[in-house]
Amino acid sequence: MKILLATQNQGKVKELQELLADAQIEVLSLQDIPNWEEVEETGSTFAENAALKAHVAAERTGYIALADDSGLEVDALNGAPGVYSARYAGEPKDDERNNDKLINALEKFPDEERTGRFRCALVIATPDGQEFLTEGTVEGRILHAPRGQEGFGYDPLFFIPDFGRTMAELTMIQKNKISHRAQAFQRAIPILKDLVKNI
């Protein structure tokens, strides 16, 4: 049985494939689909963007498809950068410029007001139009300066009090156990197994 994870990111594919290791399910990515045209993310929430991508992928390919959208929500900035996390500092996407913009935006806020979370919305869509949503979040605090070399995006600024480290100071194995995406994937596994059983 094959399912499609609507991403070019092979790291995400490997993560999902490992979670499905005990099921007879092969995870394909968009790299396996010839001439794939990117789906424009026009939603105003992570869930809307994930649903857009998942439904288009399921319709175009005939596979059960999954798509995720995720980013950083900062409370002091009313949830920004939110769905614009990857392009917070404009085009082209640039992690360093995004981090600099976030540091500047939070300059006047004391530590106790620098709370936020990484949020991931994952949508499973079937070719006949069914939709299932799972989510994951990691709560933390935004630092004044980056720390750590692992990860990407806002990881060096995102401090997790339970670990006493930033997301960028965790190993990939640690991150994949607690990340917002890992949580959403974990919650999707029973749904996927049920769908595959009923085909």
Reading the block at residue 119, the tokens are 């949020």
Which value, to the nearest 10 degrees, does the dihedral of the CA atoms of residues 140, 145, 147, 152 take?
70
Catalytic entry in 69, 100, 111, 155: 69
Reading the block at residue 65, the tokens are 């498809």
Q: Give yes or no: 75 in active site.
A: no
Reading the block at residue 15, the tokens are 């993560």
Which value, to the nearest 10 degrees, does the dihedral of the CA atoms of residues 77, 171, 21, 3 take?
40
Beta strand 158-160 with 26-29: parallel, antiparallel or unpaired? unpaired
CA–CA separation, 158 and 32 (whole Å): 33
Catalytic residues: 69
